[in-house]
Chains A and B, each alone.
Chain A
Amino acid sequence: MNNKRLFTGEARLSDLITAHPSLLSIITRLGVPLGFGDRSIADVCETSGVDTAFFLLICNVYTFTGYVPSTATILGTDMTGLVPYLERSHKYYAGKRLPHIECHLDAIAAKLGGRIGQVFISFFKEYKRDVEAHFLHEEKDVFPHIRMLMQGKIDTSYSIRDFLQNHSDIEGKLDDLLNIIFKYLPPQDDDDNVLDVVDDILRLSGDLKKHTLIEEKIMVPMVQHLENAILS
C-alpha cells in the first residue's frame, strides 16, 4: 500500500467524491452534509465540526482495499467521532438499506409464490433479525463502554476482548443471498427488480465488510489501548 495515494486534507472534497462516488453516503454518516461546493476537505470538516484526520482515516479505509491504519495512526487521531459514526451507520443499514432491500425481495417472493417464496423471504427476515440483534448488542454494551473510557472511567464487568470473541459475521448471509438470487432463482419476466436488488445487496455487503473492519481493526485496538491506560 503506497501511502502517497491516500487522501489529504488539502484536496477538494468534490474531487474525492468524483473519484469515489460511493463515499457520498459515508461522508454524510461522518457528519458532513452535502452542498460543500469547491472547498477543501479540511475546510469542510472544520465547518462541520468533524476532525479532518478522522474523516480521512475512514475515507481511506473505505476506498483502498487492504488499507488498515497502523496503531500509531489510530492512537494519534482524535477518535471522538467514531462511536457516533458507527451509530449513524447502524441506523443507515437497519433503517434504510435493509428495508429497501426487503421491499425488492418481497416483490420477488410474491412472484415466486407458494412455499418457495415464503422460504426465500424468511431467509432474509431471519438475517435482518440477526443484524438488528448484532447492532443492538453493540449499542447497548459496547458503545457505552467506549463512551465511559473516553471520559477516563471504566466498568471492568465488560472488556473489549469479549467483543472480538462474539463478533459474528454479518456479511456472510448477504453473499449467500446474492448467490441464490442471481444464480438459482428461476428467471422472471421482468428482471429489473432482481438487477436492482443485486446492486443494492452488493453495495450493502461491501459497506458492511468495511464497517466490520473499522470495528475490529480500528475500534478494538483503540479501546484496548484506553482500557490498558486506565487500568495501569
Chain B
Amino acid sequence: MKQRLLIVEPSELIIEGLKSILEGQIRFKVLEPEMNPEHLEERILASRPDIVLINPTMITNPAKLRGDRPIALVALVYQYVERDVLKGYDSMVDIRDSRAVIIETLAQASPGETGQSVTNYELTNRETAVLIELAQGKTNKEIADALNVSIHTVISHRKNITHKTGIKSVAGLTVYAMLNNLIDESSLL
C-alpha cells in the first residue's frame, strides 16, 4: 500500500527537489505540499498522511501535531540542530543525504512497517530499497554501503525478494522493478 506523504516546508526549491527524488517511487504518494504552518492540523485531518516530512523550524510542538494519530513525523533539517528540537520526531532527513538514504529513511519511518506477517508477499520497504539498488546494477557491497547495512543483511533481503517474486536473476528483477515503477529509465545504467 502506498504511504501518503505530506511535505511541510517553506522553501519551494527544497519541495521541488524532494518531489523529484520521490517521483516514480511506487511506495509513496506525495500529497500537495504545505508551505504554510498555520492551518497544519486541519490539513493533516483532511489529507490523512501516513508520513509528515516537516521542517522543524515551522512548528514548536510536534507531539501536539501528531495527537494520537498513527503518523510518522520525520524532521527535515538543513544543518545541525539541537537534540531537543528533534525530540518528538520519529526520524530525521538531512537535505545533504543521498537520494537512496532519503528514500530509505522515509520508508523506514512508515507506520505499518513493523509486524509484517509471513503470508504477506508484498516487498517490505527495506526489500524494495535493496531491489532498486540491485536493478541499477550495484553489487551487494555497494548496496550495503548505500543503505548503511551489512552485506549479510543485503543477502538476506535478496533471498526474501526472490522468495516473494519468484524471480532469481538480477536481469529479471530489473524488469520487475520497471514494471512496478520502482525505477525509471534514467536510473538504469
Which residue of chain A is the closest to B170 with respect to CB atoms? A176
Q: Contact at B172–A177, with CB atoms within 8 Å?
A: yes
Residues of A within 8 A of B188 (CB): 119
Q: Contact at B169–A176, with CB atoms within 8 Å?
A: yes
Determine whether A39 belongs to the interface, using a CB cutoff of 8 Å to chain B.
no
B148-176 CB mask vs A (1 if < 8 Å, else 0) is 00000000000000000111110110111
Determine whether B178 belongs to the interface, using a CB cutoff of 8 Å to chain A.
yes
Determine whether A175 belongs to the interface, using a CB cutoff of 8 Å to chain B.
yes
Q: Contact at A184–B169, with CB atoms within 8 Å?
A: no
Q: Contact at B179–A186, with CB atoms within 8 Å?
A: yes
Determine whether A12 belongs to the interface, using a CB cutoff of 8 Å to chain B.
no
Q: Contact at B179–A173, with CB atoms within 8 Å?
A: no
Residues of A within 8 A of B178 (CB): 115-116, 119
Q: Contact at B179–A179, with CB atoms within 8 Å?
A: no
Minimum CB–CB distance for A95 against chain B, Å: 23
Determine whether B180 belongs to the interface, using a CB cutoff of 8 Å to chain A.
yes
Query: Given A115-B185, A184-B180, are A172 and B175 also a contact pair (CB < 8 Å)?
Result: no
Q: Contact at B175–A173, with CB atoms within 8 Å?
A: no
Cα A185 to Cα B175 with chains together (Å): 10
Minimum CB–CB distance for B129 against chain A, Å: 19
Determine whether A62 belongs to the interface, using a CB cutoff of 8 Å to chain B.
no
Which one of B175, B178, B185, B188 has the highest number of Cβ atoms from chain A below 10 Å of its Cβ?
Answer: B175
Which residues of A in the span 173-189 have a Cβ within 8 Å of any Cβ on B?
Answer: 173, 175-180, 183-186
Q: Contact at B168–A184, with CB atoms within 8 Å?
A: no
Q: Contact at B179–A184, with CB atoms within 8 Å?
A: yes
Q: Contact at A126–B171, with CB atoms within 8 Å?
A: yes
Q: Which of B165, B167, B168, B175 makes the CB contact (< 8 A) with A120?
A: B175
Cα A127 to Cα B168 with chains together (Å): 13
Cα A156 to Cα B171 with chains together (Å): 37
What count of chain A residues pass the 8 Å CB interface test?
A: 19
A107-151 CB mask vs B (1 if < 8 Å, else 0) is 000000001100110010011000000000000000000000000
User: Main SS of chain A's interface residues?
Assistant: helix
Minimum CB–CB distance for A104 against chain B, Å: 16
Which residues of B in the span 15-71 have a Cβ within 8 Å of any Cβ on A?
Answer: none
Q: Contact at B169–A172, with CB atoms within 8 Å?
A: yes
A180-201 CB mask vs B (1 if < 8 Å, else 0) is 1001111000000000000000
Cα A119 to Cα B185 with chains together (Å): 9
Which residue of chain B is the closest to A118 with respect to CB atoms? B185
Minimum CB–CB distance for A116 against chain B, Å: 5
Minimum CB–CB distance for B71 against chain A, Å: 31
Q: Which of B166, B169, B174, B180 makes the CB contact (< 8 A) with A119?
A: B174
Minimum CB–CB distance for B185 against chain A, Å: 4
Q: Contact at B185–A175, with CB atoms within 8 Å?
A: no
Cα A179 to Cα B164 with chains together (Å): 11
Residues of B within 8 A of A184 (CB): 165, 176, 179-180
Cα A172 to Cα B172 with chains together (Å): 10
Which one of A115, A123, A176, A179 has the highest number of Cβ atoms from chain B below 10 Å of its Cβ?
Answer: A176
8 contacts between A and B (CB under 8 A): A116-B179, A119-B188, A123-B174, A173-B172, A177-B172, A180-B175, A183-B166, A184-B180
The 4 closest A-B pairs by CB, nearest first: A176-B172, A179-B166, A115-B185, A176-B167
Apart from A184-B179, A184-B180: 6 A-B pairs, beta carbons within 8 A: A120-B175, A127-B171, A172-B169, A176-B172, A183-B165, A186-B179
